[in-house]
Structure 1
């Protein structure tokens, strides 16, 4: 080594190491504090409230920095009553500065009825919430009495809104998120509106829960996050999004995330993140997510009584279109806000099977309209030992990869002549003259057996309403079998001459003309002869036409496979051609729907492929014959027009333009 190099080395070694940037805070910020709410006031202080493990008081602390809340003194500003109202379950306090007054919104129950939980309000009589006297302003009346909690409030475009959690009535008898206008800081006005209810698999693990709403308004949009599922490791965040100029009291203004936007991270030892709020850095430039989570997975006893939920925070990243990306909860320890908070979201080139994983779906019926493919399905829901199908759902896509969930615009209870379910069996939608007709299977209230109803809408996504006020087909109208479930699985078809037809059946394949109004049969009900459907027609008829050939596909045998017959006329005779698909994985049924979209042919079906497979215990939710999932694969034809056997794949189909 030369002398010059030695001198350089000695000089550089004597210099102090470059100083590392100080962390902005250390997670957890406050131990054993759940349901945190942090409010950055105009006075430059962060004010923090949270649920204490004893559920018996409301604490308030303040600091100039978020990290400073760790050492800030906690002042008890209110204690529960020893008896009577507000005597138990003091949960989820939130502090807000509205006009000249400070308010705390919180949850409480009577000491003698600890689960009669309701929202309440405190008002401070002075300008300093730490030293002022807090006055009980009573319960916020919500329009009806039931379990209700986790209220928040926000102002937007000159209006103040109140958003909260409340148990609804069947079929929305989980805890749901509601919104209403406020006429004063302690009361609402007008009818409450339900924005979201637990429907996806990740919202129903352990319990059916949507709770703890929090609102963030940025980039021309209103984002409303909420917590879902039981309070253990499966607890997570979902999100609703609305345009800032939309009517926030219209549920149709809000789009719901199909998957959790924030959930447990075993890699970072963070479990059950949820019940969040939003704040910013003191300069207002960086948006922050504040939440609680645990740093271990296994909880002894009831998670609700575990004290180790702790307050944590991290910065929010943003996509180029102004959507927040929360990432995953960061590991405990010093935290520094990243210098780059942009987020890149890549779009996949294909959609694996099953294509819908948020809920269990069955009996797919595709329809193409105005360059978009709409998919009508029934929702499987229950214990996996029977067909419990409380509602139908609608999805759509323009590329076969990105699917939009349009919710549930039709339920059995919409047909007043039906039992009301839960029997949302297979249906089929079709458009004629600007109207959309949805033929479905339900149980008749007065005539024993299954029946066919028809609903109508001006839009492919609804809302739909009963088009007749009575059943289209009842069990006493079909005599080819002695069973009460032969009137199921309707499939509509409009021929080249404009004549509409309806096919349906179990054990026998029925069909009939429809009148131009699409809501009445035109003539007799006919039966496709058994030999023309392979002498083993089971159910699920589907009719489509290609190059002058009519194709009648259907389920055959049990467990079911898919067979088909062809004809040169919609009325037959039909020639049996054999199978087009083998049985579905892990399901006794398969129920196909066939459609051409953007130059490709697709075979929709359902299978029992697993989804929501989070392992044993509260997170387990596997598929099967009664918990099915919609899939799709390409369909190919031979030169003579016969259909090739469909290859059922896990890869699914690619994006189409």
Structure 2
């Protein structure tokens, strides 16, 4: 598992999916100073594509402190204006022993980009990430998609980049009820989820603000046979599919990933949440829970909590 450290890309390894407190830790990559990717490394993701390991992450050259000459172009304060996406490449039988090296910046058309992920489809490989509508828009944060030639090269020109989701429902905005609340309205942390039984393709994403109790998961479903680059082929569910559970003091649940149990009989969600929502990002911890599927093929996530939970089948 990878996670945000701000300073490097770190890999965790645990013998048990439901216990990350005693996990081993290893730095895969530490950026040199003075580069566009030297500070504020966020949301690294580990993928194996065509037998090669890739880490996709976002970073910034100035510790999220743009110069006044840049910040003045934004209608709101925009500390993340210089955040872009980057790729590491690793070779080896498993990510723990693989040697990772910086590959390149993943083109996002000279615009803000965070939380990028790979979306694999029969029509090709895609990059889906959190974006602004323009270079200095600042808010809201939307979900953009571009087609890839390979894991580090974008094939789509800017004219073909598509916005497939914007924060349109009240639960995607923070705080609720504000007359004008584009600021802090977010769609981010996208993650592909496939129902192996039906073939349905979903994009699970985080909504609202990541250091807030209202952070939650939304769901986009790709129309069967649809084109990932066609926004009208994505259907957004009206309500969040995973959200806070005050009964167990489980707040700010988001930025999920999905794995199967070792024997392939169970599906698990891995996410972060917080028990004390007043402490923001520093209060987040790793959680893992089993989930099932509804009759219509959509994921049926449990209420978030703390367990303890049984270990995955076959582990």
Indicate the structure whose relative CO is greater, using CA pairs within 8 Å and at least 6 residues apart: 2
Contact 2:251 2:273 in 1 (8 A): yes
Which of 305, 310, 315 is matched with 2:290 structurally? 315
Query: Take 2:137 and 2:115, find their aligned partners in 1: how far apart are those partners?
Result: 22
Query: Take 2:288 and 2:250, find their aligned partners in 1: how far apart are those partners?
Result: 12
Give the match for residue 82 of structure 1: 33
Q: TM-score, normalised on structure 2? A: 0.83
Which of 109, 124, 147 is matched with 1:181 structurally? 147
Kindly indicate whether residue 186 of structure 2 is the aligned counterpart of residue 209 of structure 1. yes
Query: Take 1:307 and 1:323, find their aligned partners in 2: how far apart are those partners?
Result: 32
Greater Rg, structure 1 or structure 2? Answer: 1
Which of 219, 226, 240 is matched with 1:260 structurally? 240
Contact 1:86 1:110 in 2 (8 A): yes
Give the match for residue 76 of structure 2: none
Which of 206, 213, 221 is matched with 1:241 structurally? 221
Superposition map of 1:379-390 within 5 A: none
Give the match for residue 84 of structure 2: 118
Kindly indicate whether residue 15 of structure 2 is the aligned counterpart of residue 51 of structure 1. no
> Could you say what the CA RMSD is over the residues aligned between the two structures, in angstroms?
2.2
Flag structure 1 segments of 5+ consecutive residues without an equivalent: 1-47, 340-657
1:157 CA drift (Å): 1.9
Task: Sort the Cα spacing of 1:59 and 1:172 in 2 relative to 1 into closer, same or farther, 3 A.
Answer: closer
1:57 CA drift (Å): 1.1
Contact 2:18 2:309 in 1 (8 A): no
Query: Take 1:338 and 1:56, find their aligned partners in 2: how far apart are those partners?
Result: 32
Q: Deviations over 1:81-135 (max 9, x none)?
A: 3223212111000001111211100010003664310010000143342233221
Q: Deviations over 1:297-354 (max 9, x none)?
A: 323xxx3xx3221110111121112111213212x23113799xxxxxxxxxxxxxxx
Which of 224, 246, 253 is matched with 2:203 structurally? 224
Q: Deviations over 1:549-577 (max 9, x none)?
A: xxxxxxxxxxxxxxxxxxxxxxxxxxxxx
Task: Sort the Cα spacing of 1:243 and 1:285 in 2 relative to 1 into closer, same or farther, 3 A.
Answer: farther
Q: Which runs of 4+ in 1 moved over 4 A?
A: 170-173
Kindly indicate whether residue 252 of structure 2 is the aligned counterpart of residue 272 of structure 1. yes
Kindly indicate whether residue 127 of structure 2 is the aligned counterpart of residue 162 of structure 1. yes
Query: Take 2:124 and 2:35, find their aligned partners in 1: how far apart are those partners?
Result: 34
Which of 109, 115, 118 is matched with 1:153 structurally? 118
Give the match for residue 412 of structure 1: none
Q: TM-score, normalised on structure 1? A: 0.41
1:275 CA drift (Å): 0.7
Flag structure 2 segments of 5+ consecutive residues without an equivalent: 66-79, 176-183
What's the secondary structure of 2:110's corresponding residue? Answer: coil
Give the match for residue 109 of structure 1: 60
Kindly indicate whether residue 97 of structure 2 is the aligned counterpart of residue 131 of structure 1. yes
Contact 1:178 1:193 in 2 (8 A): yes
1:64 CA drift (Å): 4.7
Q: Deviations over 1:167-223 (max 9, x none)?
A: 113999411101222111112212221110112111111411110001111123111
Query: Take 2:290 and 2:262, find their aligned partners in 1: how far apart are those partners?
Result: 13
